[in-house]
Amino acid sequence: MAPSFTLLDGGMGRELARMGAPFRQPEWSALALIEGPDYVRRAHDSFVAAGAEVITTNSYAVVPFHLGEARFWSMGLLLADRAGRLAREAADAAGRKVLVAGSLPPLFGSYRPDLFDAARAPAMLQVLVRGLGPHVDLWLAETQSSIAEARASAAAVAGDSRDLWISFTLKDEDADPARPCLRSGESVGDAVAAALSLGAKALLFNCSQPEIMAPALTAARAALRAAGATLPLGVYANAFPPQRKDASANSTLLPIREDLTPEGYRAFAEAWAAAGATLIGGCCGIGPEHIGCLHGPGH
């Protein structure tokens, strides 16, 4: 695959479920941190063995939305620290350079910019930042449905010397490829402007259908050219069917598309690389076998 790119890992939640780790809703991937942390380490090891050069902490569900308010405020710091430590241990055991990205997730539900509460966000994010901080090489504000979410995440790590990557999730139900937009309806051009103003060191798109990613990359490149700026771009798509804007993020275990085999996903990734992505991995439903398929000549 050319040009060369940095290989990210895949989706932690579905990999934990596939392995037989403690896994249920509403806790999602956080349950393994509580009841079976060895599974989390093994999942990280699987992605590292597949070739991942950046692995993301299993802190996506360490939020009140998944844990509940009482358990988050009593256990959140411990769980964030545990998530960071497990990823760090896997990276350090790799025998090669592997970076750890500290996941700063949506706090009030994936794909729901309408539920974002800017007043409550800073205290929650500080729990994650404090717990993850000793272990990570960079910050990854991921699955951000709106610029407001990304702005809060950036504020939480303001003054930290480590790089911030911002990854937005895109509207993929009845999406217009000519006008890709965030789930909030804000344009990719607006997202580029926000990433630049917030000092992000990379802009990515994740947890959306593979088909919308190349149009988003094209729009992002055009916005960067118009701004006279450069920024590494990346993609890590999910394997879900398109999700409605009013979907309840924690109501059911979503099905996985049968066409997104490792080879099928690689075909999309080749198009993203051709469209300018230099950071490529996978999100929900994309496992070590997919990452391994991306790891090859040209990488």
Q: Residue 15 burial by CB count (10 A; 0-12/13-18/19+): exposed, middle or buried?
A: buried
Query: What tens digit of pLDDT does each residue of 238-275 get?
Result: 998 765 555 555 455 667 788 899 999 999 999 999 99
Give the closest residue to 235 by CA, choosing from 194, 258, 266.
266
Please compute the mean of the pLDDT values over residues 216-238 and round it to a whole number. Answer: 98
Give the closest residue to 55 by CA, choosing from 118, 136, 160.
136
Domains of the chain: 6-294 (3.20.20.330)
Check residue 297 and give its pLDDT.
Answer: 52
- Token pair in block for residue 104: 């700063």
Q: Cβ–Cβ contacts within 10 Å for residue 117, how many?
A: 11
> Going by C-beta distance under 8 Å and a sequence separation of 6 or more, which residues neighbour residue 158?
none
Q: How far is CA 235 from the centre of its chain?
A: 9
Q: Is the CB of residue 283 less than 8 Å from the CB of residue 236?
A: yes
Query: What tens digit of pLDDT does each residue of 135-156 get?
Result: 999 999 999 999 999 999 999 9
Segment (H or E) for 123: helix 121-132
